[in-house]
Structure 1
């Protein structure tokens, strides 16, 4: 009985500690309208002012490509407001496919792009607009190219 009490006490202490440890971002199960997606390529990290703001990933599923952006808790805890966008890009990152933007969004899926036959990248950026403009202070990051 005493051993069980010690195990229960240790577990009660350990669980909050595990929850507080920052780690890799996990995507929501799937984008709207598609029940199953698979990550393709690497994860890219959007860094703003020396801090990791968000993770950007590319997924495929339901005959389309999707970009997914997750704003890290550490960034959310130190900022009261942010704007982010995500999209699939083609043509070496020059053509943006139907971006989706959000204000204070934690998770953001792009619209599905019918680009499985093309080389694509997931794109995420700060700001609120159809394409990132470095001259406006937008900071952007792309995943690796997947063909």
Structure 2
């Protein structure tokens, strides 16, 4: 059991440390890549989540990842991920379960449109949002 403790400690440290990379693969499309720049949902000056858009397999996805240090301070939050087109329509909108830190939108048939990923973090009636950069 003593050998397992350093491994567990390293795994926990990786989950809690901000900026630590983690796997980002949209459901059903291992070849998808991030397009555009990452946006950040801010709440009171603190970063709550990262928002990214991915493209691959003929579709787009929105992706939201709540940072561990923010999630440790708040509970009962909801995360929403979607892909937004220039006409303001949200495609593939998914609202995660309570306290779910990683949420993918559904795959959207918006690859031929100008799009941005939308991420929303909500606490009760309040919500904060961010859009990734626009890609055409």
Establish whether TM, by shorter chain, passes 0.5.
Answer: yes
Q: Verify the 8 A CA contact 1:43 1:55 in the aligned structure 2.
A: yes
Match of 1:117 among 112, 115, 127: 112
Match of 1:56 among 51, 58, 64: 51
5 Å-filtered alignment, 1:19-98, equals: 19=14, 21-23=17-19, 26-28=22-24, 30-91=25-86, 94-98=88-92
Hey, which of these two has a bigger chunk of strand by percent?
A: 2
Q: CA deviation at 1:27?
A: 4.3
TM-score normalized with structure 2 length: 0.81
Q: Verify the 8 A CA contact 2:40 2:47 in the aligned structure 1.
A: yes
Q: Distance in 2 between matches of 1:126 and 1:24?
A: 20
1:22-61 superposed Cα distances (whole Å, 9 cap, x missing partner): 2155343x22222221000000000112211100000001
Number of residues paired by the alignment? 125
In our comparison, the structure showing a higher alpha carbon Rg is 1
Q: Flag structure 2 segments of 5+ consecutive residues without an equivalent.
A: 1-5
| Cα RMSD, aligned residues only | 2.3
Q: Distance in 2 between matches of 1:81 and 1:96?
A: 24
Hey, which of these two has a bigger chunk of helix by percent?
A: 1
Q: Verify the 8 A CA contact 1:25 1:72 in the aligned structure 2.
A: no
Q: Distance in 2 between matches of 1:89 and 1:107?
A: 19
1:110-138 superposed Cα distances (whole Å, 9 cap, x missing partner): 1011111110000001239xxxxxxx532
Match of 2:93 among 86, 95, 99: 99
TM-score normalized with structure 1 length: 0.75
Structure 1 residues 52, 25: closer, same or farther in 2, change over 3 A? farther
Q: Distance in 2 between matches of 1:46 and 1:55?
A: 6
